[in-house]
């Protein structure tokens, strides 16, 4: 009997070319999981759909996905089977039976991302794959002032890594929290959706504000321009982690 299953997945994206399966690239998270699903069900062509596609090198703490599977295994047995055969840098944290119409991408109403910078004086030896080390410490007050301008419903075309985006680049970002805890500078973003590269471009732009390369109030002009070439640099993927996907209850 075919049923729809909801998955919660975490992974270290360091060695992967992103989530999305690619015909010429075997090292993708989706590809690895689907290979094990095919083995588990004894059928080829199983597809697992994620709430969003993380880019190469980006990590996930709790990514949501769904798949329609024909299997007699229980959700717990599916979880355990996957974790037995998946590589050590991918973990299926939870599997549940979902409604037939549940779709991880289309039903998602919110996402939280976290970008982490290391601003300590010593090398982050054991965290080096998960943090970006800027060459100087930004002025946090300037960064927060600029972030406030970006909060709201705007056209974020200036922060989109896809040139000539055909679909709408309007998104709602209702939280940009900048916090400092010991040697870590953390940017937390929450919104109804994010464009390709958007979080990394926003973070690079905010860092440039903190370094004095651009004024906080210039964010208004940047939003109006809808021109990627006017925004800041794209911070490295390794500092970015998808924290969670959100869905309406019921």
Tokens of 193: 């959706």
Q: Look at residues 161, 156, 182 and name the one whose alpha carbon lies nearest to residue 240.
A: 161
CA dist 208 to 143, 155, 232, Å? 8, 21, 7
List 12, 24, 38, 55, catalytic entry: 55
- Alpha-carbon Rg for the chain, nearest whole angstrom, is 19
Q: What angle do CA 146, 151, 157 make, to 5 degrees?
A: 90
Tokens of 15: 């060695």
d(CA 120, CA 12): 23
* Known active-site residue 55: yes
Tokens of 13: 């994206």
d(CA 196, CA 52): 10
> Which residues participate in catalysis according to the annotation?
55
């Amino acid at each position: 009997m075919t049923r729809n299953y909801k998955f919660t997945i975490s992974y270290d994206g360091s060695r992967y070319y992103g989530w999305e399966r690619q015909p010429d690239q075997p090292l993708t998270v989706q590809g690895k999981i689907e290979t094990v699903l095919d083995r588990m069900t004894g059928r080829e062509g199983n597809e697992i759909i994620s709430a969003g596609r993380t880019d190469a090198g980006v990590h996930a703490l709790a990514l949501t996905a769904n798949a329609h599977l024909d299997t007699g295994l229980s959700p717990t047995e599916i979880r355990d089977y996957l974790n037995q055969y998946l590589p050590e840098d991918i973990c299926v944290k939870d599997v549940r039976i979902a409604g037939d119409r549940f779709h991880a991408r289309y039903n998602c109403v919110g996402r939280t991302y976290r970008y982490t910078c290391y601003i300590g004086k010593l090398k982050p030896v054991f965290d080096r794959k998960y943090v970006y080390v800027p060459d100087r410490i930004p002025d946090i007050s300037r960064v927060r002032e600029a972030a406030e301008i970006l909060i709201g419903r705007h056209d974020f075309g200036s922060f989109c890594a896809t040139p000539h985006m055909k679909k709408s680049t309007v998104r709602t970002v209702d939280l940009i929290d900048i916090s400092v805890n010991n040697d870590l500078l953390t940017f937390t973003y929450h919104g109804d959706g994010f464009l390709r590269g958007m979080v990394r471009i926003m973070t690079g732009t905010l860092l440039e504000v903190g370094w004095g390369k651009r004024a906080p109030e210039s964010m208004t002009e940047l939003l109006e321009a809808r021109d990627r070439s006017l925004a800041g640099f794209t911070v490295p993927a390794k500092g970015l982690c998808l924290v969670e996907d959100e869905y309406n209850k019921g």
